[in-house]
Chain A
Amino acid sequence: MDPECSKLLPALCAVLADPRQLVADDTCLEKLLDWFKTVMETESSLHLLQDHPCLMELLSHVLKTQDVSPRVLSFVLRLVGIFAAQEDCFQYLQQGELLLGLFGETGALSWTAWNMPSVRSGWIQGLCSLAHHPSALHFLADSGAVDTIFALQGDPSLFVASAASQLLVHILALAMQGGASGSPISEAAAWPICAQKIVNHVEESLHSKATPQVTQALNVLTTTFGRCHSPWTGVLWGRLSPPVACLFERDPIPAVHSLMDLLLSVARSHVLNFAACGLWEMLAQTLSRLSPTQAGPLALGTLKLQHCPQELRTQAFGVLLQPLACILKATTQAPGPPGLLDGTAGSSLTVDALLSSKSACVGLLCQTLAHLEELQMLPQCPCPWPQVPLLGATVTILRLCDGSVDPSSSMGGRLCGTLGGCVRVQRAALDFLGTLSQGTSPLELVLEVFAVLLKTLESPESSPTVLKKAFQATLRWLQNSHKTPNCSDLSPDALLFLGELFPILQKRLCSPCWEVRDSALEFLTHLIRHWGGQADFREALHSSEVPTLARQLLQDPESYVRASAVGTAGQLSSRGLQATSASPENPLAQQGLLMDLMHILSTDSEGFPRRAVLRVFTEWLRDGHADVIRDTEWFVATVLQAVSRDLDWEVRMQGLELAQVFLIQAMGQPSLHCPYTVGLPEATSPRPHPEFLQTLCRLPLFEFAFCALLDCDRPVAQKACDLLLFLRDKTTHCSGPQEAGDSPNSASVEAVLQRWREGEQGQPLGDLEPEAMLAILRSLDLEGLQGKLAKSSDHVEKSPQSLLQDMLATVGILEENEADCY
């Protein structure tokens, strides 16, 4: 602990012990605990207590009087736990009977404040920190704390109840860790007393008729198998699997969610012999007994398992496929193409779930689609993957939603009524449809996909969220489906599709909803990025009004849309696809866009479009865009001039990024500061031409970066520092090692530096000569500044010393300002 904090600690302890003083807020006490935890990582807590008697005084005071506020009581319990995590300190506190006094039956449990959840939570967290050594284990067993923890599992506060269960697992693991030091204990009867007590309690709870108690026991076991991977967990499962199996015999099955979590947690464990312990049978039985909605998560979890019998995987996959199989069956004209799960029985439960109510149907379908989507992206994805029927079913669901299915059965008719216009199902189906693009599908089905996507994109009923997902799915299908041998090209079918898509996109670019205009622009930008170079695509795009409309959106009233339009216009221009009648041969139109973007950069009232302009400009500079290379110096100068006045620090930072690209193009990549390259000749770093240094002064790039060193927003200053370091490295050999004072304009250099040191910024440096620039660069301690800037801007205010000062300073004034908020 640093001496400054040591000095402040006694006063703070006195404040905490004084019931008349209000503690500023919970965050201060939380941060104080964070700090103690950090201190304890490197120091002995026993020494800390001995060196700071005020801490013991605070603890003893609380123990004696308990007249402090519940939040301080909770703090003290947690603090003692942190101290007692080290065994010698534990003994020390134990001798003073402090631990028993706080955590024993006559301690916190008997306080009036025990009815506050924060105090109970503090008690649990304190014990959790403390339980790290064998002495702690004895203490827990002797003090009766374990019984209290059992009771707290059913606490009305979710937080307390959950923490109590976690603590039980922690204690069990600690007990077994100590007990298992010799040979593995195969008999639970020979386990340490504490562990036996917990296991007995869990077993009793599993036999209980009350569901909450069963749930608590299952949660403890789930966490145990998730965290502990020692052989004793096998013995534990051997003992407790029969009562767990009995739960399946009850009707209804209690705590289904927790039960499934437990089975999956056990199945993920590496130490069990599953075949011997009957887990697979249990999983199979559960899958067949649960309702389709309940079984879904278990089926997905089973399929994710590394080692699982094929038969069980097939059963689990069947559970996930069943709802879509029903959809296909209900809507396909017999005899139809092969469906999912042909010939299997047991779909009546699924049919019931789909038809029982709208919310059940929607819930089951959304869950199934999301599970299948997740599964397809996993390495454990079943093989063969029924791509064709799944795609068919998904397209059908989308058609049921848009009302274009002609139902072939009464169930189909009811599904039409239930799913018509259902946005939730539409969204889930579009997500899955996008993922299905990764598989290989027959052409006729791809055409169906395009058709249903077009319908969704065109429909006036489609909500903005549905449209966004439809755009995303479309992009994925264009990228992945039916690729021609030249894999980056669009297929003829995709081109035909684009012919129909662009008129719809035109309409969407004019939507009254900004969300739709923006999603359409984002989609368009992706299209151009991927296929902007392909002749057929260019032709299709040119024959539409899309580029013109996109350009018009530069004036959109919504700033998000303006920013997206800037990105799109930038892409169009980079690919020579600009709006109006312009062509790459018509430089005037291009120049028009450059000026439009410059106008946005200097006048737009919001940051997003200005930032977007800089992203486009930086890309243009990097890629050698025709307009930029026509007069790069003018371009950079104009951009930096606009950016230097900008109030948005991210714009200023991107201005520096652009400046860096400019420098790298002229001076080469930054040299690597790698110890292994010390001896290598710097052949790759050419000496900059003196004229270029003149340019830097004239632009004025140097002045911009130099002023930005003092920017009130730290990332800007950091970036400027990096830039100037780069510049200094590259110009080291430009002039002799002369001192700044020897230079002819030393007075002006010194004046500049003086103003800079005084924190004045924004004052023009005046006409700076390259020599003066180099002299300033040499005079600045850029490495030192870089070190300072690497810290957060509020590291002083966030320091422990500052925290202690703040807590002390608020004493007595809290009443005046009260707890306030917005």
Chain B
Amino acid sequence: MPEIRVTPLGAGQDVGRSCILVSISGKNVMLDCGMHMGYNDDRRFPDFSYITQSGRLTDFLDCVIISHFHLDHCGALPYFSEMVGYDGPIYMTHPTQAICPILLEDYRKIAVDKKGEANFFTSQMIKDCMKKVVAVHLHQTVQVDDELEIKAYYAGHVLGAAMFQIKVGSESVVYTGDYNMTPDRHLGAAWIDKCRPNLLITESTYATTIRDSKRCRERDFLKKVHETVERGGKVLIPVFALGRAQELCILLETFWERMNLKVPIYFSTGLTEKANHYYKLFITWTNQKIRKTFVQRNMFEFKHIKAFDRTFADNPGPMVVFATPGMLHAGQSLQIFRKWAGNEKNMVIMPGYCVQGTVGHKILSGQRKLEMEGRQVLEVKMQVEYMSFSAHADAKGIMQLVGQAEPESVLLVHGEAKKMEFLRQKIEQEFRVSCYMPANGETVTLPTSPSIPVGISLGLLKREMVQGLLPEAKKPRLLHGTLVMKDSSFRLVSSEQALKELGLAEHQLRFTCRVHLQDTRKEQETALRVYSHLKSTLKDHCVQHLPDGSVTVESILIQAAAHSEDPGTKVLLVSWTYQDEELGSFLTALLKNGLPQAPS
């Protein structure tokens, strides 16, 4: 029995790190290879030992697909390919291929910087891993091998994010990765065609939430930054090298331009140029507005945002600084934070979530006296703001996507169990499809009914045409014929042709059915009664009473016989060829209802 099997190694009822194994018609695919930022040991990576048990990784897995550049979706990739030993192809979109190594490098530097970790993957490993990547275009069908094909669809969320359709023969799975069904300032909304996959694996981060408009959050952000610099304060925005940072840069740049503000904005890592380069390169991946205005003005060329120098942090007066890393756990952003934290005029805006064990997490949980090295205490007087700019589909968006793709069943990942449960019920009710939500390590198995392509002979088609039944597009039609399976191919031909081709003689096959009638008369009389009844009922058919006492209706033969044990019962033997199956069944049913009472 063909089946699809799905086992999450990560993202099963959690949002830690995505890594989902899909087996479809014997092909094994790994969807995302993410890392958990909350751990500092091997627990940060998915437990790959469950795959290595099945033999060599490269032999077992047909490919790895990465949906987008966030580390919880690609952070374990260099570990997996260069340290665990996967040597096969890795698929991702062009922007993801370009941006992924920057974030991996950024994270590596932080990990090594923070803790002097020696057994972490190296720059060379990141590069070698990226060399195994095969970049794909949107809507391009890519043949991984003769049987397995994949296709990317636009997912919004971040630059280059994609949903992937994985197809083997007639069976298919769609994996959404993270997606956003509403366009934002620089990206469009996710879209997929009515591909009717056997299974849709969708994220469910905001499974129970209807999110407010991102515009409101953007207005709020600008208001807070503006108010702070107006009163002479400094604003620190800790970010990761690429992604959210560029989105916020566009926001501030446009606002500064509109309001004619002169307060300096700095970006600490010198990555603006690189971001510029990529956003220019991948302009087709941004939203329509950016594409349209690109000719007059490139949104990613920032007039007001300048490169940061370490000495600027001590400068008097207001300023806005984007600094890495995003969770205030090392490096530049933490150093600036320490300098500015004591002044209540200043503000730190955390635009993303922070894991436990970081200063970012502490200040977001409201801690205002932070212990520093050497038992020193840092009093945080500056304002602390949290603004989630994460771009995921909310409950409405997820339902919209399910409606759009029309899957046979749905599987939820990348969310919390409780919220998933709510959404699962909603999906099952509304779309009448099965919805699953496996935990990490649990396998969902879906039986599938593969559609088998069959060739039809011209003769058979012509015969159908002669009967006046012209084929209608998009409407299924029933066609009778003989199925010939030869040389791994299937053909439907007329029975005559099949006999001829296979050199077989024709045999007549008749079905016989017994119908018991309560009738004390003799057999001949019963037969006569049957004849009269059928003659009056079946006016359009040729009903005959033969000399031997039997009755025929077309090719159907009816004979009456006495019951061996009960003389008051007569047995009618109704027999027909398989071509007259319909009429035979009808007659049997008719006779079972009994004969009309004879006039006394």
Contact = CB atoms under 8 A, between A and B. Distances in A.
| A and B from one complex | yes
Interface of A: 24-28, 30-31, 116-118, 156-160, 162, 257, 297, 358-359, 362-363, 366-367, 370, 424, 427, 464-465, 468, 515, 518-519, 560, 605-608, 645, 647-650, 712-715, 718, 759-763, 788, 792-798, 801-803, 805-807, 809-810, 813, 817-822
A357 B147 CA distance: 11
Nearest to A760: B314
Given A159-B441, A796-B373, 15 more contacts: A25-B355, A28-B356, A117-B440, A117-B441, A156-B443, A257-B53, A424-B145, A560-B127, A647-B269, A715-B113, A759-B339, A797-B329, A805-B367, A806-B362, A821-B414
Contacts, number: 197
Contacts of B58: 366, 370
B72 A257 contact: no
B72 A27 contact: no
A518 B131 contact: yes
Nearest to A564: B127
Nearest to A418: B146
Contacts of B361: 806
Contacts of B113: 649, 713-715, 793
A25 B441 contact: no
Contact of B356 (A803, A819, A821, A822): A803
Interface string B340-379: 0000000000001101111101101111000111100000
Contacts of B404: none
Contacts of A820: 352-353, 388, 390
Interface string B95-106: 000000100010
A415 B105 CA distance: 43
Contacts of A819: 15, 353, 416
Interface stretch (B32-40, B530-538, B559-567): B32-40
B114 A792 contact: yes
7 contacts: A157-B439, A465-B89, A647-B308, A798-B40, A813-B366, A821-B414, A822-B158
Residue from A795, A807, A810 having most chain B Cβ neighbours under 10 A = A810
B310 interface: yes
B352 A822 contact: yes
A370 B56 contact: yes
A798 B109 CA distance: 18
A645 B352 CA distance: 29
B149 interface: no
Given A118-B439, A363-B59, A712-B335, A762 B359 contact: no
B1 to A, nearest CB: 15
Given A118-B439, A715-B112, A715-B113, A796 B371 contact: yes
B88 A424 contact: yes
Contacts of B311: 761-763
A810 B363 CA distance: 10
4 interchain residue pairs of minimum CB distance: A159-B441, A27-B38, A712-B335, A820-B353
Given A26-B14, A714-B114, A794-B329, A606 B274 contact: yes
Given A157-B442, A793-B115, A817-B364, A370 B332 contact: no
Nearest to B101: A560
A8 B82 CA distance: 43
A499 B416 CA distance: 62
B362 A809 contact: yes
B445 to A, nearest CB: 10
B439 A117 contact: yes
Contact of A798 (B43, B357, B443): B357
B273 A605 contact: yes
B386 interface: yes
B503 to A, nearest CB: 27
A518 B330 contact: no
B115 A792 contact: yes
A519 to B, nearest CB: 7
B403 interface: no
Contacts of A157: 439-442
Contacts of B146: 358-359
B416 A26 contact: no
B355 A27 contact: yes
Contact of A762 (B47, B310, B357): B310
Interface of B: 7, 14-16, 26, 36, 38-40, 43, 47, 50, 53-56, 58-59, 70-72, 87-89, 101, 105, 109, 112-116, 123, 127, 130-132, 145-147, 158, 178, 205, 209, 243-244, 268-270, 273-274, 307-311, 314, 329-332, 334-335, 339, 352-353, 355-359, 361-362, 364-367, 371-374, 386, 388, 390, 392, 414, 416-417, 439-443
Contacts of A160: 441
Given A30-B43, A714-B116, A650 B109 contact: yes
Contacts of B355: 25, 27
Contact of A649 (B87, B331, B357): B331
Nearest to A799: B371
Q: Is the interface of B mostly helix, strand, loop or mixed?
A: loop
B390 A822 contact: yes
Contact of A788 (B71, B270, B308, B374): B374
A682 to B, nearest CB: 31
Contacts of B114: 714, 792-794
B353 A810 contact: no
A797 B359 contact: yes
A762 B16 CA distance: 39
Nearest to A516: B131
Contacts of A648: 109
Contacts of A715: 112-113, 116
A606 B274 CA distance: 8
A112 to B, nearest CB: 13
B309 A821 contact: no
Contacts of A464: 131
Contacts of B209: 818
A375 B414 CA distance: 42
Nearest to A817: B386
B416 A713 contact: no
B411 to A, nearest CB: 15
Contacts of A162: 50
Given A157-B439, A427-B87, A714-B113, A796 B131 contact: no
A742 to B, nearest CB: 30
B81 to A, nearest CB: 11
Contact of B358 (A363, A518, A797): A797
B441 A794 contact: no
Nearest to A758: B314
Contacts of A713: 113, 330-331
A606 B209 CA distance: 40
Nearest to A162: B50
B356 A24 contact: yes
Contacts of A796: 371-373
A220 to B, nearest CB: 14
A370 B269 contact: no
Nearest to A759: B339
Nearest to A607: B105
B48 to A, nearest CB: 12
A712 B331 contact: yes
Contact of B362 (A30, A118, A797): A797
A806 B26 CA distance: 46
A651 to B, nearest CB: 11
B100 to A, nearest CB: 13
Residue from B147, B364, B392 having most chain A Cβ neighbours under 10 A = B364
B548 to A, nearest CB: 57
Given A158-B441, A713-B330, A821-B15, A794 B357 contact: yes
A297 B55 contact: yes
A400 B461 CA distance: 43
A362 B334 CA distance: 52
Contact of B442 (A158, A560, A649, A712): A158
Given A715-B116, A822-B352, A809 B365 contact: yes
Residue from B36, B310, B367 having most chain A Cβ neighbours under 10 A = B310
Given A27-B38, A606-B274, A159 B330 contact: no
